[in-house]
Structure 1
Amino acid sequence: MLRRLAAACRIISLCVAVAFAAKSGVGDLDRGDTKLLISECKLHALLRNQCAYVLATAFHETGGRMMPVRETFATSDNQAIARLDSAWAKGKLPWVSSPYWRQGWFGRGYSQLTHENNYRTVSIKLGIDLVSFPAKALIPEIAAKVLVMGLKEGWFTGKKLSDYINLRATNFIDARQVINGMDCADKIAAYAVAYAAALEQDGYGVTGVEAKVGAP
């Protein structure tokens, strides 16, 4: 009984979040580089709900801009490094064991690619040297491949988009584990629901299931 009640409360909360999300531009398929990301999703044969989660992730990671950004939303590499150094010095990054940003491997793109090992992995996957030239991760066409292929193939955490979103069910909440644990999972799930509706109205593919939230 308690489990059902908790699930019901979560769904109600998510519905409220979807309503608020719509006011912030979520679901707008003309915002920023959204069309580019949709084209990349189609190129890699993503299901509609998988594409919705890609867009939701991009919306969250770019602060709604739907364009590649630097970590801290800095306007230059030096500014990004300075902001991260300042946060580090003030103890605001307790989860960070070493300053990964000082060599230029701070977050970039639609997915906030960080750390040398991740830049190296993506470089191998795409055949593009992002280790020596990390700024290339800000090029929209490259950033789109990083986000879409990374989520589809499990580059970031070993978890794949299809582990949570497939033809049998859609789990927009736990899908956050594909990129970053469960950080802001409910919020991004609400974004995904809004994008799924917009994509369906726009005629993007067929998933075979209704958009659901929570565990399948």
Structure 2
Amino acid sequence: MNEAAFFDAVRVQPFRGALSQSQVDGLNAILAAFDKFQALIKDRRWKAYMLATVFHETAFTMQPVREIGEGRGKPYGEVYYGRGYVQLTWSANYAKAQAELANVGITVSLLNQPDAALIPEIAAPIMILGMINGWFTGKRLSDFFSPVIDDWVGARRIINGEDRAELIAGYGIDFNTALVKAL
């Protein structure tokens, strides 16, 4: 990948003209994780949609974040509130992520240390494996992007129903354009 072309393109859209060093660092961490899991990523649009999801879920920071309010008053509670690039929630999802990460050689005790989901080297595989394998809602990237399917709006169901689906679809198209320019 031509990283200069990629960063030049994303700087324009979706970042609207400027990238902070923290955003660059976050993008680099995610791109490195894409390289690590390249054998599982079957379509360039998968990368674009994952980047769009991170862009939205982290409020454009491209860094793993804590859920606003840290779960206070939520049914999943104050321990297993949303963390990471995709806002992993619920103890069962932390347990699943812990087990699935172990299957790919990443040992981390998310149940005992849920803040580990804030470490980019943990947050990125959670996002990648979760979105590819449908951990979060049962929907997976291949349900929305394939040689015969191109559903940027519907892909939001991988993470969170239809909440802000059209907005995030636009981000996905921007990231896809950048990835094409970087070929």
Q: TM-score, normalised by structure 2?
A: 0.80
1:44 to 34, 37, 46: 37
User: Deviations for 1:115-143, whole angstroms, at most 9, x for unmatched residues?
Assistant: 11111111111122201110100111000
1:124–1:131 distance in 2 versus 1, CA, 3 Å = same
Shift of 1:70: 0.5
* Matched AA of 1:60: H
Structure 1 distance, partners of 2:92, 2:145, is 27
Partner residue of 1:171 out of 132, 146, 151: 151
AA aligned to 1:37 is I
How many residues are treated as equivalent by the alignment?
162
CA distance in 1 between counterparts of 2:94 and 2:170 reads: 29
Find the counterpart in structure 2 of residue 148 from structure 1. 128
Q: 2:98 aligns with which of 101, 106, 123?
A: 123
CA distance in 2, matches of 1:67, 1:195: 17
Q: Which residue in 1 is equivalent to 2:7?
A: none
Rg larger in structure: 1
For 1:160, give the aligned amino acid.
R
Deviation at 1:109, TM superposition (A): 0.4
Mark the CA change 1:170 to 1:25 in structure 2 (over 3 Å): closer, same or farther: farther
Q: 5+ unaligned residues in a row in structure 1: which ranges?
A: 1-18, 73-79, 89-95, 204-216
> For 1:112, what is the secondary structure of its paired residue?
coil
Aligned to 2:26: 33
Is residue 101 of structure 1 aligned with residue 77 of structure 2? yes
Larger displacement relative to structure 2 (164-173 or 31-40): 31-40
1:194 aligned residue: 174
CA, structure 1 residues 48+57, in 2 after alignment: closer, same or farther (shift >3 Å)? same
Q: Tell me which stretches of 4 or more aligned residues in structure 1 moved more than 3 Å.
A: 19-22
**Pick from 16, 22, 34: which aligns with 1:23?**
16
Question: Does the 8 A contact of 1:31 with 1:65 survive in 2?
Answer: no
Partner of 1:212: none
1:10 matched residue in structure 2 = none
Percent sequence identity over matched residues? 36
Q: Match of 1:136?
A: 116
**In the alignment, what sits opposite 1:6?**
none
Normalised by the size of structure 1, how large is the TM-score?
0.69
Separation of aligned partners in 1, 2:131 and 2:18: 23
Deviation, 1:179, is: 1.1
Question: What secondary structure sits across from 2:98 in the alignment?
Answer: helix
Deviations, residues 149-195 of structure 1 (Å, cap 9, x unaligned): 11011111111101101223321110111111111100000000000
Q: Residue 24 of structure 1: CA displacement?
A: 6.9
Q: Note the residue ranges of structure 2 that are not aligned, 5 or more in a row.
A: 1-11, 103-107
Partner Cα distance (1:42, 1:184) in 2: 28
Distance in 2 (CA, whole Å) between partners of 1:20 and 1:67 is 18
Q: Which residue number corresponds to residue 69 of structure 1?
A: 65
